[in-house]
Chain A
Amino acid sequence: MKNIIISCEKIHYKYPDGTYALKGLNINIENGKKIGILGPNGAGKTTLFFHLNGLYKPDYGKIYFEGKEVVYDRKNLKYLRSKVGIVFQDSDAQLFSSSVYEEISFGIMNLNLPKNEVKKRIDYVITKLKIENLVNRPTHFLSGGEKKKVAIASILAMSPEVIILDEPLANVDSKAADEIIEILNQLNSENKTIIISSHNPDNIYSWADYIYVLYDGNILGEGTPYEIFSNDKLMEIANVKKPIILEFYEKLRDKYPEIKNKYGIPKNKDELFKIIELI
């Protein structure tokens, strides 16, 4: 039996204009995994995320958190939101305070903890994300990547079990992107469930344990990164490009069929280089 932390059962969600954003979607998110969500714009990724945190209530269907059905009252929502954090795509729309320290303290202050406990957790998060140098600067002096880190810190301070990041690597330079990926891996090693959506198949392919492909309000496919990205038909419908590492490996395998049984499928650049060297 897998350890499922959040699951959605046939959820439908209708926008006020009558179009369906989610059409009977089922998803079971395993605890402590790195989950990638792929899908074109308008597939319903953000809408799905808003359901997982109780921001949106499904029109039909049920959502379960830690095995219990989500109840939409104040107390239960507060619990759900303290356990499932969302880092929004647009940091500028998430950060409301021009003081970095106050921004980080916002979510955790809503948990009604004693002040010294709040302070301790904020300091912990600041050292953990190595953002000591950002705390004394106002939000509008920060770059895209720095704002994203502050947004992550403000979620992390609440110490959620599940952290959802909507396009965390958009508007972020590659150094900051590496640092953010590093942070996510570190959090995952502490048994936190991380869910990210991304347009960038290369990042998702090397990072995720398990991938869902979302298309037109439904799950079109799910599986391990290799299963998903080697399914050409799926990729074509969902309009996703194949990761360059996988594409290269497949070309290599066509030329040297013997490597198929000798080595595993490379997940990242280093593993691919190793195979090339050994040929």
Chain B
Amino acid sequence: MILIDKYSYMNNIRKIHPMEKVLFGLFPLFTCIISKSLFLYIFVIITFSFSILAIAKIPIKYYLKILFIPLPFLIISFLAIAIDFSRTYEVLDYFIKIKSLYIGFKKEGLNTGIYLFFRVFASINCLYFISLTTPINDIIWVLRRMKLPKIFVEIFMIIYRFIFVLLDTAVDIKNSQLCRLGYSSIKRGYYSLGKLISNVFIKSFHIHRMLFLSMISRGYDGEINVLEEEYEYSFKNKILISIYFTFIIVIAFF
């Protein structure tokens, strides 16, 4: 079971209108991308961590764990931007000397690096808020409301559903291979993995055929029409979100 998916269904604010949650996450995200205010980034990081941990009640252990996923990439890009090489030391503000080469930081470079680090961190927090509190089913609902072409929504919907079906199949096959020592050596491991992948592929074809038949047997004629669940906007949330957005704009641009 994919944990991030599980939490998206079992968090404290699951029942809140999906459009509110998606907007609440996306607006600060775009503001962070446009704005160059370090204070805004820190403000967004603090408020969103608070929303994820205290309001949505996601366990802190899991939240820290997923925050660490992008950290290596972030550190590498930070170093790549911040570090400078030079043959003379005048251009560098902090440096060490290795033979005839100076390695160090320029002040602007360091500044850009720090800005980048916090901007990315703030954006990740916004995205995590959406993915931890809004189930994919609700996101599909939002995509429909945003008038995305139907075909994309249908593909998205079916892919999401069959990730789990095929994942179950893959886990079953892997276990049955494991209990017959399928992964006992590297060579056997590659062989078994190849078989596993081809079997999942064949299974997906079989399921596709049966799914198509089962849909036709229920009168499918080229378009998936379903009745959507209804959500209610909450006046209180609308006000709170508007206040928060005003804050963000004020911090970002003044």
A interface residue numbers (CB < 8 A to B): 50, 53, 55, 74, 78, 81-82, 85-86, 88, 90, 92-99, 101-103, 105-111, 115, 118-119, 122, 137-141, 154-155, 158
Contact = CB atoms under 8 A, between A and B. Distances in A.
Contact of A81 (B161, B217, B229): B217
Interface centre among B136, B158, B217, B225 (most CB of A within 10 A): B217
Interface in B48-94: none
A138 B137 contact: yes
A109 B210 contact: no
B225 A109 contact: yes
Contact of A98 (B137, B207, B219): B137
B9 A85 contact: no
Contacts of A98: 136-137, 157, 160-161, 164
Contacts of A108: 227
B226 A97 contact: yes
Contacts of B147: none
| Those 5 A-B pairs whose CB atoms lie nearest each other, nearest first | A110-B219, A107-B218, A93-B210, A105-B227, A140-B164
A98 B140 CA distance: 10
Interface residues of B, number: 32
Nearest to B208: A93
B228 A102 contact: yes
A81 B219 contact: yes
18 contacts: A55-B216, A81-B219, A85-B218, A88-B213, A92-B165, A93-B206, A93-B211, A96-B158, A96-B211, A98-B136, A99-B137, A103-B226, A105-B227, A106-B215, A109-B227, A110-B220, A138-B5, A138-B137
Nearest to B214: A94
A197 to B, nearest CB: 15
Contacts of B224: 96, 106
Contacts of A94: 210-211, 214
Contacts of A86: 214, 217
B221 interface: yes
A138 B137 CA distance: 8
Contacts of B158: 96
Interface string B237-252: 0000000000000000
B135 interface: yes
Contacts of A93: 206-207, 210-211, 214
Interface in B150-197: 157-158, 160-161, 164-165, 168
Contacts of B160: 98
A131 to B, nearest CB: 15
Interface string B96-132: 0000000000000000000000000000000000000
B185 to A, nearest CB: 33
Contacts of A109: 225-227
Contacts of A119: 227
Contacts of A111: 219
Contacts of B206: 93
Interface string B24-42: 0000000000000000000
A55 B220 CA distance: 12
Contacts of A81: 216-219
Contacts of A102: 137, 226-229
A122 B5 CA distance: 26
B217 A53 contact: yes
Contact of B218 (A99, A101, A106, A118): A106
Contacts of B225: 106, 109-110
Nearest to A110: B219
Given A110-B220, A115-B227, A154-B218, A96 B213 contact: no
A109 to B, nearest CB: 4
Nearest to A140: B164
B204 to A, nearest CB: 10
Nearest to A137: B9
B217 A118 contact: no
A141 B211 contact: no
Given A82-B219, A93-B210, A109-B225, 18 more contacts: A55-B217, A78-B219, A81-B216, A81-B218, A86-B217, A88-B213, A90-B207, A96-B161, A97-B157, A99-B137, A102-B227, A102-B229, A106-B220, A110-B225, A111-B219, A119-B227, A158-B218, A158-B219
B227 A122 contact: yes
Contacts of A105: 226-227
Nearest to B219: A110
Interface centre among A106, A115, A137 (most CB of B within 10 A): A106
Nearest to A107: B218
A107 B219 CA distance: 6
Given A86-B217, A110-B218, A141-B9, A95 B227 contact: no
Contacts of A110: 218-221, 225
Interface centre among B136, B161, B164, B220 (most CB of A within 10 A): B161
